[in-house]
Structure 1
Amino acid sequence: MDILGDPQNSAPVVHVAGTNGKTSTTRMIESLLRATGLRTGMYTSPHLHAVNERICLDGEPVSDERLVAIYHEVEPFIRMIDAAQGELTWFQAITALAFATFADAPVDVMVIETGLGGTWDSTNVVEPSVAVITPIGLDHQEYLGETLADIAAEKAGIITAPVPVVTSVQSEPALVVVAEAAEAQGAPLYLAGRDFDLIGRDIAVGGQVLDIAGLGGSHHPDVFLPLHGRHQAENAAVAVASVEAMLGGRSLDSDVVREGFATVNSPGRLELLRTAPTVLADAAHNPAGVAALVSALGESFGFERLVGVIAVLADKDVESMLMALGPVLDHVVVTVNSSPRCLPAEDVADLAREVWDDSAVEVAEDMPAAIEAAIAEADADLAVATGVLITGSVVTVADARQLLGKD
């Protein structure tokens, strides 16, 4: 980044790491900061359909024209580094492009989501003003370690300075590691349930109404969030605390909180793709993510019967994911998505038959066939309120969104 003039230091940074809820929390933080009147740059990953989604200015993906123009400015420097030190990875290059875009705009504040882990992540060149840790769980063990403590140590690698650290509720092994990392840096730790909290929530049409206690005694009642599930409500509380920490502990005006959350979205997170029958898509791809999905389904949707379309990547804990889905799915259609890393459908079917009766497990050769089969199953008895849930991977959701015209 030195050769580019350190664009990552061109504005204050909120740096977000964690296993689940990273992207949703990042989006909420960005939306709140924008509602305060600041110009924002937001970097998230992965994208669903186009790389532009990763790099947003004022909440909107950067245009093709702007992205190409910035790339042409950055490309000579990338080639210099490639020649001198070996080729940059794709993620390193796109991260550099994001920082260059934000510096060029310029923005008032950046909200940066890590790609994988924290310590060695390409985004960890920033000097954060706030470090945010979302729920830590088991995922990417081949890269981050086999235990929650190991994974937490990687995530806590973004705690690199004596700046506020805001964390979601964590398991004890993860929290111990995060707290130790904060203490080592002399960083104040703000913990969900202790320093800020979700103190109430009511299910509403199209989302939920929240009551949030922020930092320093701030209180934000009657906040509508157009996302489903307790996990998203808890993400919202983390977002409020993160922004208040970013503002030096100053309480947000509750009207700003309401404005910021009113239009927040998180594509592929319990997203409605069509009606008649209702088709939902969720990018849950690990057991903790599936557990949050199952909880949200139960409280937000009144299906009498639910058909699942499932395609997962081979490196995931597929057995545990299917077990978690067992109580809510009555029929499953297993298939493959467009990733070369996808687990073969027959392998998923073998595991699924340990959870559901053979008659409830169907195999489809590809995503179009799977969605068609699931909709046919849902429409088989119109007297029963049946929905379709597409899940298992970000790629699975991206494929479904494209097929159903949501791209």
Structure 2
Amino acid sequence: MTETPDAPRLAQTFAEVEDALLSRWPETKLEPSLDRIEAFTELLGEPQRSFRSIHLTGTNGKTSTSRMVETLLRALDLRTGRFTSPHLEKMSERISIDGEPLDDETFVRAFNDVAPYTHLVDAEQDHPLSFFETIVGMAYAAFADAPVDVAVVEVGMGGAWDATNVIDADVAVVLPIAVDHEKYLGADPATIAVEKSGIIKPGSVAVLAEQTPEVAAVLLARATEVGATIAREGVEFGVVHRTPAVGGQVISLQGLRGHYDDIFLPLYGAHQAQNASLALAAVEAFGSGELDADLVRSAFAEVTSPGRLEIIRRSPTIVLDAAHNPHGAEALGEALEDSFSFSPLVGVMGVMEDKDYEGVLAALEPHLAYLVCTQNSTPRSMSAAALGRVAVEIFGEDRVSVVPDLGEAIERGATLAEAGEAIDVSIGSGAVLVTGSVVTVGEARALLKARR
């Protein structure tokens, strides 16, 4: 068959797929509507109707919780698809099957399977398909093709009009809601909750993290309106006990169906214990039964969450954490105090200029002896110099330096951490924390892995 002139050329390489996707509307440019993704999935044959799903929203913790849910489901011998965003190092991380990101060949094939339909949608709609809408279509088509038993799907932003929301999930998980993406979602948590509550569908189970009273009221009203079953952290399920341990923490969880003790979770911080309780409740709700305690223990022991309080290097210790809003930075600060005794802890931070970077700086200031301000490679990145000017107001001039190159900034941080006496702290237990943005942490991770 002769290819029509306006049909997209099929990709031959991963780089060509990446280029084709990035040439579309970026994730940061949004036009709130499900029209395009609905038209796209209709042309693809409604692939999202061929599998069951668990859908997750909230301000922070979605990716970690998604990974926990998936690990539990795989322990139950279910074939899983997982869609998360953004990616740390490579675009194909967003689409996983059986716990592994698509390899380059499969990613190219997933793109080529949907590419012939993208221009049809573009021609019919007021706005062309965005990058995010296109990759959601790719994910759902790849999951149907696998085929998977269940997809674990993280929203990109919000909920009701997020492109992922063409699924009708069996279980909707709503993690803690705070302020982020103000331009699109609103300036207060209750307003944001209205948007995020849109993933709660008729007949589903709504697994709800503890929220402020205003947010809880919005979520409960939505669940009641659509006839969803409600499961609340702190009422029907939750963390019973947690103890920091070498390499993570030991937790006891009360689930919806059973009680589970002596679970080793190889992730740090109370927020990750909370994420584990939500993941457990979601899987119990999905399967409608108590899980085997040994299965739960073995599954949680295998959980990883790259870029979330991840120790990537020793001597000195370098920790990566993708906190990029005040809520995430506060959880990070609490986890640092809870699980580590670094002295000094030197921060290396690069942020996006459309985020509440002042709030992030203020939340981390009590935990950092010194801050190196840097930037990542994207156009959205705030310049290191601009971040430095804001940081000086919060940390003071003697605790801030500006190093625009990320690799050099990490080296500066490592030098300061190793020479603690330069900033009046004892030598020997210093560490570096790279944070401020998922992109910054992803680029740092790639740099540090290459130097091993």
What range is the shorter-chain TM-score in?
over 0.9
Which of 373, 390, 404 is the matching residue for 2:434? 390
Of all paired residues, the percent bearing the same amino acid is: 48
1:175 and 2:219 correspond: no
Match of 2:331 in 1: 292
How many residues are matched?
Answer: 405
Which of 367, 383, 386 is the matching residue for 1:328? 367
Contact 1:164 1:187 in 2 (8 A): yes
The Cα of 1:204 is off from its aligned counterpart by 1.2
Aligned partner letter, 1:28:
M
Match of 1:20 in 2: 60
Match of 1:372 in 2: 411
Cα distance in 2 for partners of 1:370, 1:4 equals 46
The Cα of 1:360 is off from its aligned counterpart by 1.1
Aligned partner letter, 1:94:
I
SS at match of 2:380: coil
Deviations 1:240-259 (A, max 9, x none): 000000012x1111111112
- Of 376-385 and 92-101, more deviation after overlay is shown by 376-385
Match of 2:236 in 1: 195
The Cα of 1:265 is off from its aligned counterpart by 0.8
The Cα of 1:40 is off from its aligned counterpart by 0.4
Cα distance in 2 for partners of 1:269, 1:76 equals 37
Match of 1:149 in 2: 190
Deviations 1:66-93 (A, max 9, x none): 1212222211122222222242111101
Normalised to the residue count of structure 2, the TM-score between the two structures is 0.88
Cα distance in 1 for partners of 2:284, 2:359 equals 37
1:238 and 2:278 correspond: yes
Aligned partner letter, 1:78:
T
Contact 2:248 2:264 in 1 (8 A): yes
Contact 2:419 2:427 in 1 (8 A): no
The Cα of 1:406 is off from its aligned counterpart by 6.6
Alignment of 1:127-138 (within 5 A): 127-138=168-179
Aligned partner letter, 1:170:
Q
Match of 1:219 in 2: 259
1:404 and 2:448 correspond: yes
Alignment of 1:292-371 (within 5 A): 292-371=331-410
Cα distance in 1 for partners of 2:428, 2:299 equals 38
SS at match of 1:353: helix
The Cα of 1:292 is off from its aligned counterpart by 0.4
Deviations 1:231-274 (A, max 9, x none): 000000000000000012x1111111112111111110001111
Match of 1:159 in 2: 200
Cα distance in 1 for partners of 2:236, 2:264 equals 22
1:268 and 2:337 correspond: no
The Cα of 1:398 is off from its aligned counterpart by 0.7
Cα distance in 2 for partners of 1:359, 1:325 equals 16
CA RMSD of aligned residues (A): 1.2
Which of 22, 39, 42 is the matching residue for 2:82? 42
The Cα of 1:226 is off from its aligned counterpart by 0.6
1:73 and 2:113 correspond: yes
Cα distance in 2 for partners of 1:321, 1:172 equals 24
Unpaired runs of 5+ residues, structure 1, are: none
Normalised to the residue count of structure 1, the TM-score between the two structures is 0.97
Cα distance in 2 for partners of 1:115, 1:342 equals 19
Match of 2:26 in 1: none
SS at match of 1:166: strand
Contact 2:81 2:143 in 1 (8 A): yes
Cα distance in 1 for partners of 2:362, 2:305 equals 26
Cα distance in 2 for partners of 1:11, 1:406 equals 38
Cα distance in 1 for partners of 2:364, 2:389 equals 15
Aligned partner letter, 1:62:
L
Query: 4+ residue runs of structure 1 moved beyond 3 angstroms?
Result: none
- Of 63-72 and 385-394, more deviation after overlay is shown by 63-72
SS at match of 2:442: helix
Contact 1:273 1:406 in 2 (8 A): no
Match of 2:6 in 1: none
The Cα of 1:353 is off from its aligned counterpart by 1.3
Alignment of 1:100-111 (within 5 A): 100-111=141-152
Aligned partner letter, 1:189:
I
Cα distance in 1 for partners of 2:224, 2:100 equals 37
SS at match of 2:394: coil
Contact 2:388 2:400 in 1 (8 A): yes
Aligned partner letter, 1:16:
L
Contact 2:385 2:404 in 1 (8 A): no
Contact 1:390 1:400 in 2 (8 A): yes
